[in-house]
Structure 1
Amino acid sequence: MSVQNDPPASLAAIPAGYADWLAELKGRIHIAQQRASLAVNRELVALYWQIGRDILERQAEQGWGAKVIDRLAHDLRTAFPEMKGFSRANLMYMRAFAEAWPDEAIVQQAVGQLPWGHNLVLLTRLKNPAMRLAYAGRAIQHGWSRNVLNIHIETRLLERSGKAVTNFDERLPAPHSDLARESLKDPYRLDFLGVGQEADERAIESAIVQHITRFLLELGAGFAYVGRQVHIEVGGDDFFIDLLFYHLKLRCYVVVELKAGAFKPEHTGQLGFYLAAVDSQMKAEQDNPTIGILLCKSQNRVVAEYALRDSNKPIGVAEYQLVAALPQELQTSLPSIEQIEKELGETAE
């Protein structure tokens, strides 16, 4: 026989305004929980940095060898058996973390806002401090999970962002043009589609729809999928847009046209026609002008720049890659991510 936890009769009647007040309280509690979690994370990252700095200083000043880390790991795990993170591998990461970020202010203001696992990804996947900081900033801004951060580093997201040939500076007002330009990249990595180099436009388009979540991740933050082969009628004739998106930050529609070959100047005319039709038939009064992205198998950047000069519509031209090996991971003398995850998951004996 089950027992139901019904509210007392005296609490059954809900007074006016109670529901709104309860919702507000729940919101406050959730915010407090998030702040508490962030505070704990900042303290943990700061502690790890301080331990790493101390190891560096003592090794430099007193000539301690690497074996001291083995002893320290044993002593800390003995003293704090309920805490994870004091393995030899993680202590080595702490040392490398402090060495990578000698300025404590950066730890407090930037990377300290990220979980330790995110910092391990930055530490092991990137060597350049500026790129580490740039990816850390994007991860904080967009709330990337560790897996998403890994994907963006492996596909060189920031190195490709803003590289497409566009006429946005001439066709869009600032700062809208700057944001639009940074929203495009070159090339677009579509190797996750699983199609061969000779795939035609329809096959690529079908694969994109089947992998729309991954494609949205490749497009970047702000893109929302509207449809495929979107029908528009102009002068009694039917036309179909390959892929249509809406960008939440740019507040505009984005038309994506696929070309399974090299870029040709006449492609901009067709895309410009689609942009005009969307602006006329779909764009709301508060929306910004529709922008277009031409994804081609290859392009001559000089030809693309010339073609866009006389186009009165905002268009970007970029290449796509259907088959591309992931960049070789940067090698370090430190343990791998897999090793540290395994050790962090083990309880101290």
Structure 2
Amino acid sequence: MELKKDLIQQIQTIITNAQAKAIRSVDTERMLMYWQIGKTIFEEEQQGNDRAEYGKFLLKSISNTFQPQFGTGFSVRQLEMNRQFYRTFPNTNALRSQFNWTHYRTLIRIDNQDKIEFYVAETEKNNWSARQLERQVNSQLFERLLLSNDVQAVLAVAREEKLPTDAKEIIKDPMVLEFLGLRSESAYYEKDFEAAIITHLQEFILELGNGFSFVARQKRIHIEGDEFFIDLVFYNRLLQCFVLIEIKTTKLTHQDIGQLQMYVNYYDRFEKQDFENPTIGILLCTDKNDAVVKISLPENNSTIIASKYQLYLPTEQQLIDEVKKEIEKLDAN
């Protein structure tokens, strides 16, 4: 007599769930252990007259005492991270049970409280893995959103205190597409670039921002007997609208803007439902002239966005330079 397949599957599910819970429990206890060790070290070194020197002595002594027995978990570097963990998150009630130590190891490297708060909120809201969080920090997501928003607006959307009402609150400029694996010094046809995006669709949606879902590739539309193809179509549930993306592997022209505006107008007239918001168009390009973009569009434009892309992670200095440029533009206006 053979066991029923559904019975086997039920037992396998029970075992898998129990194993997952056990792993999460171990991760949680390890995280709390690191926090408690960090708290103990921090409080002890505050008692030294020369705290810097006493801190060095303390870490080295603890490492020499416990590392032979417990291994690399008690290296000086690990003890330094434990101390920083406590200093960054001094209240255990603020620790998230769905975060593991790798999440917190990334967060404690950040030296700005607003940035930490933003990444904690975004990780919790989007259920980012530790690897996804690290990628977003390395791609300077917080700074890129600040190029078109202020700190409080960025934090409010991250905390879900307000829903985004403007596409610029969630769509980034520039977009960082290093996950496509394309070399920045090479030339690509737009169809090859599009194919790479489809291959890495999950990562691309993560880069686009919150609330996006994929609808179509090379969406065919008919206008009075003429055929046109929209590169990529997405829908954003937060903005409640379609988002059309046109890929340009060269510098943006006013003709490109006009073409995308036609696609947006088509969707607004023939695809959008009454309860949905106006369609948004994104021109994803290697370079753009902001003045050309501004002149080519109506003054009250809120539906066409030109976003540069780059195929490598930006350095912190590059983002600082971009922020300075934006501030100079605002001052000039």
1:66 aligned onto 2:56: yes
Distance between the aligned counterparts of 1:176 and 1:55, measured in 2?
42
Change (3 A) 1:112 1:52: farther
Instruction: Look up the match of 2:321.
Output: none
> Which of the pair has more CA radius of gyration?
1
Paired letter, 2:165: D
Q: In structure 2, which of residues 130, 134, 148 is the aligned counterpart of residue 150 of structure 1?
A: 134
Instruction: Look up the match of 1:92.
Output: 80
- TM-score for the superposition, normalised by structure 2: 0.72
Segment of structure 1 superposing worse, 264-273 or 141-150: 264-273
3-state DSSP of counterpart to 2:41: helix
Map 1:264-343 onto structure 2 (within 5 A): 264-310=253-299, 314-322=303-311, 324=312, 327=315
Higher relative contact order (CA 8 A, sep 6+): 1
Instruction: Look up the match of 1:122.
Output: 107
Q: Deviations over 1:150-176 (max 9, x none)?
A: 1111111121126469xxxxxxxxx76
The count of residues paired between Structure 1 and Structure 2 equals 292
Q: Deviations over 1:206-233 (max 9, x none)?
A: 2222322322222123222222211011
Tell me how far 1:319 sits from its aligned partner. Answer: 0.8
Contact 2:139 2:313 in 1 (8 A): no
Paired letter, 1:206: A
Map 1:186-225 onto structure 2 (within 5 A): 186-193=173-180, 194-195=182-183, 196-225=185-214
Paired letter, 2:62: L
Tell me how far 1:114 sits from its aligned partner. Answer: 2.8
Contact 1:164 1:316 in 2 (8 A): no
Segment of structure 1 superposing worse, 208-217 or 134-143: 208-217
Change (3 A) 1:98 1:307: same
Paired letter, 2:86: A
Instruction: Look up the match of 2:115.
Output: 131
Q: In structure 2, which of residues 133, 147, 170 is the aligned counterpart of residue 183 of structure 1?
A: 170
Instruction: Look up the match of 1:261.
Output: 250
Tell me how far 1:144 sits from its aligned partner. Answer: 0.6
Contact 1:189 1:321 in 2 (8 A): yes
Q: CA RMSD in A?
A: 3.8
Paired letter, 2:137: I
Distance between the aligned counterparts of 2:198 and 2:171, measured in 1?
19
Distance between the aligned counterparts of 2:232 and 2:148, measured in 1?
18
Map 1:25-44 onto structure 2 (within 5 A): none
Distance between the aligned counterparts of 1:265 and 1:231, measured in 2?
22
Change (3 A) 1:186 1:164: farther
Contact 2:164 2:170 in 1 (8 A): no
- TM-score for the superposition, normalised by structure 1: 0.69
Contact 2:42 2:83 in 1 (8 A): yes
Paired letter, 2:174: P
Tell me how far 1:293 sits from its aligned partner. Answer: 0.6
Distance between the aligned counterparts of 2:77 and 2:238, measured in 1?
42
Tell me how far 1:310 sits from its aligned partner. Answer: 4.5
Paired letter, 2:46: A
Contact 1:295 1:318 in 2 (8 A): yes
Map 1:162-181 onto structure 2 (within 5 A): 163=147, 178-181=165-168
Tell me how far 1:94 sits from its aligned partner. Answer: 0.9
Distance between the aligned counterparts of 1:304 and 1:84, measured in 2?
55
3-state DSSP of counterpart to 1:296: strand
Paired letter, 2:295: Y
1:109 aligned onto 2:94: yes
Distance between the aligned counterparts of 1:117 and 1:306, measured in 2?
47
Instruction: Look up the match of 2:237.
Output: 248
Paired letter, 1:161: L
Paired letter, 1:209: I
